[in-house]
Amino acid sequence: MTTNAERRRPGRPPGTSDNRDRILETARELFARNGIDKTSIRAIAAGAGVDPALVHHYFGTKQQLFAAAIRAPIDPMTVIRPLRDVPVERIGHVLPTLLLPIWDSEMGKGFIATLRSLLAGSDVTLIRSFLQEVIAAEIGPRIDSPRGTGRLRVQYVASQLLGVVMARYILELEPFASLPVEQIAETIGPTLQRYLTGELPGSV
């Protein structure tokens, strides 16, 4: 049996998990409807009936809250930050060596499950926001040459990586699903790099 004293641990206000759940639910709803950029922590707090400070206290930054809302197993910055030190002409080769080990891991299972349920439902807007507003916003400007192509370059990269997720984790095609990370990285690396910095048909 749980006593009141146990439930109300110091530093943890009563009703905590209710508040957390309500924040996450509101966040998911607003992110899906308006995207990440146009959704403020303030609006989420208002929708959940809590103070904005509490949202920051529980979830940190807006991006971290987004990751929690889509049940992402890790903070996207753990992938994005190391990429900042990678020279632009190496990103395509390095990206799969960062992503595949995470997807292959125990944490990755949650990510795949989330992706599948988002794809099945109407919440594709959440994945779209993440790709456009987090990934494209971060990497797009570094590969925006000729000017205006950055966004499309990221989308070509996404088209290859999303397909890897489908083939390896959802369809589990063999032998693809069991290949060592390095082998897949070596094979798709040149593809990703060409999409990022190579010639892009249709853009002058």
Residue 153 CB contacts under 8 Å (≥ 6 apart), including other chains:
140, 143, 144, 195, 196, 197, 200
Token code pair at residue 92: 């395509």
**Dihedral angle computed from the Cα positions of residues 184, 156, 101 and 64, in that order, rounded to the nearest 10 degrees:** 180
Segment interacting with its own copies (CB under 8 A) among 23-31, 64-72, 92-100, 156-164: 156-164
**Smaller CB separation from its own copies, 101 or 121:** 121
Q: x/- binding map, residues 113-152, to its own copies, per CB under 8 A?
A: ---xx-xxx--x--xx--xx------------------xx
Let me know how long the chain is: 204
Amino acid residing at 78: T
Q: Does 71 bind its own copies (CB under 8 A)?
A: no
- Footprint of its own copies on this chain (CB under 8 A)? 116-117, 119-121, 124, 127-128, 131-132, 151-152, 155-156, 158-164, 166-168, 170-173, 175-176, 179-180, 183, 186-188, 190-191, 194-195, 200-202
